[in-house]
Structure 1
Amino acid sequence: MGVESIVICVDNSEWMRNGDFIPTRLHAQQDAVNVVARFKTKENVETSIGLLTFSDTQVRVPLTTDYNKIAKSLQTVEPKGSIKFLTGIRIAHLVLKHRLNRNHRTRIIAFVASPISEDMKEMERLAKRLKKEKIHVDVVSFGEEEENIDKLSHFIETINGTEQKECHLVQARPGPMLSDILINSPIMVGEDGKPIGSGFDFSMDPMAADDPELAMALRVSLEEQRQRQDEETRRVQQESLEQMQTGEGMNQAMETEETETTDASTLPGTAEREEEDVEMQELMQNKEFLQSVLSSLPGVNPEEALQNYRR
């Protein structure tokens, strides 16, 4: 693919807490970005990569050939706010315009898993400008597809035009790992122009070979982050339980119980039982009925038993 200058834009909105990708969209994105950056830098050591976050439109890492800087910075990304797609792409464009090596091909790889609020016309204008300046854009859509599909499809089609197909929209659905989907996508192609598939030498811990200490630090950081999320989940569940046991939850339960008690006498079953009680009392006052029942009992004198009952 030649030497490139690439800005990877990642989604860090609140939507990234969603757990449809295991364990969350944020972690799935982190793994996928690691794989992409690893592949690009191993394919050509002169390729430089930068990192930008969409929510705060912050350039986390300027263009660099040091992959470890990208990996370290990814560990600090936290979900907050909402995605600012157009602003993020414009800033990535500026980063590429000021790249040191003017001979590099330019590319933006955008990860999107949040609803895009910008108007399609605004996105079209930006796409035409990127096309004019030969900025290639790949978009990885892995959430809220129904809301974004039309906008993102039109965005990529506008950049590609009719004469080129070097920009891609990859749609990923929950199930497979996001990184596995990208390995088999046009975003990651080898020298033969075909997706690399499983032929590329990836490690689940992409930094183990280069920097074992860094790899250990990242694993510890990831574990701490997951523990914080688990504690937050338990806290929310505990608060919900306490609300059910006290306050409004108890009031609602008491109101429900009073309503059920008040309405019990109007239930069809209750009326039927009252009618049955009246009929039973009338039968117990019927002498002939009692004699017929008592006479059917072995060893019982109906007259004596009836006299004892009357007493």
Structure 2
Amino acid sequence: MPETIVVLFDNGMASQNQDYLPSRLIVQKETVESLISRKFEDNQENTIGIIPLVQTQSNDIITPTKQRPYIKTFLNEIKLSRNVDIMGCLSQSLHIFNQKDSPGCMLVIFLGSEPPETEKDELFARLYQLLTFGIMIKMVFFGEAIEMAEAYKKIDFTNFSCIEVKPSEEFADRVLSFINGDEHLEEDDPELAEAIRLSLEEQKKQQK
């Protein structure tokens, strides 16, 4: 069955930080580009959309499409900006998924900075709403948002999972393994895990 994947991309000003080299913005772009390649290799009927957490113009997103060049162009043009609006982005995601059959729908959330305290309860509520519709949600906490990870690990839905990625870790490899469900391959099938790692490295070389 084809998948519909929506990526929430953290382009807030904190993504200029270089604790994740070369910068948080660039490691996200590299990771999403590899994800795009992987998903279209898996199934050419998959569709992918991207929602920046900061949109300088209203509704400046790319809805799920099979048009790989459009997705990559949009991704490359994402710039840093102020005033992250994760609630608005989750509403946009919900609107997109309401028009799809929930099986095969995945929301990937990159979060590098903590939302204001006043929004944290609402963030939980909005995620629960998506989860009850059967949307698979995978959250990637990095940067200051790592502090939030423990609370989210307590979410008791089979279609929810999250990881925290530290600056000392290989961002793209860790995130792609998590999104693609390869996390346990290391112990279950080390040869396959190594083959996947080499494949990811080859994808990175081709993108340069």
Report TM bin, short chain: 0.7 to 0.9
Query: Aligned partner of 1:169: which letter?
Result: C
CA distance in 2, matches of 1:64, 1:18: 31
Among 160, 165, 181, the residue aligned to 1:189: 181
1:127 alignment partner in structure 2: 127
Query: Aligned partner of 1:7: which letter?
Result: V
2:171 alignment partner in structure 1: 178
SS at match of 2:19: coil
- How does the TM-score come out when normalised to structure 1? 0.57
Query: Aligned partner of 2:62: which letter?
Result: V
Shift of 1:73: 1.1
1:74–1:206 distance in 2 versus 1, CA, 3 Å: farther
Among 194, 199, 224, the residue aligned to 2:195: 199
- Give the conservation status (yes or no) of the 8 Å contact 1:4–1:105: yes
CA distance in 2, matches of 1:199, 1:153: 29
Structure having the higher helix fraction is 1
CA distance in 1, matches of 2:79, 2:69: 19
SS at match of 1:184: helix
Shift of 1:147: 4.0
Q: Which runs of 5+ in 2 are unaligned?
A: 187-191
Q: How does 1:46-65 map to 2 (within 5 A)?
A: 46-56=45-55, 58-65=59-66
Ranked by relative contact order (alpha carbons within 8 Å, sequence separation 6 or more), the top structure is 2
Query: Aligned partner of 1:15: which letter?
Result: A
1:36 alignment partner in structure 2: 35
CA distance in 1, matches of 2:47, 2:113: 27
- Give the conservation status (yes or no) of the 8 Å contact 1:35–1:206: no
C-alpha distance after superposition, 1:263-290 (max 9, x if no partner): xxxxxxxxxxxxxxxxxxxxxxxxxxxx
Query: Aligned partner of 1:199: which letter?
Result: A
Shift of 1:40: 1.5
Q: Which runs of 5+ in 1 are unaligned?
A: 208-218, 220-311
1:260 alignment partner in structure 2: none
- For the aligned residue pairs, the C-alpha RMSD in angstroms reads 2.4
Structure having the higher strand fraction is 2
Query: Aligned partner of 2:127: which letter?
Result: A
Shift of 1:171: 0.8
Q: Percent identity?
A: 17
Aligned residues: 195
- How does the TM-score come out when normalised to structure 2? 0.82
Shift of 1:176: 3.1
CA distance in 2, matches of 1:115, 1:103: 28
CA distance in 2, matches of 1:84, 1:5: 22
CA distance in 2, matches of 1:127, 1:184: 22
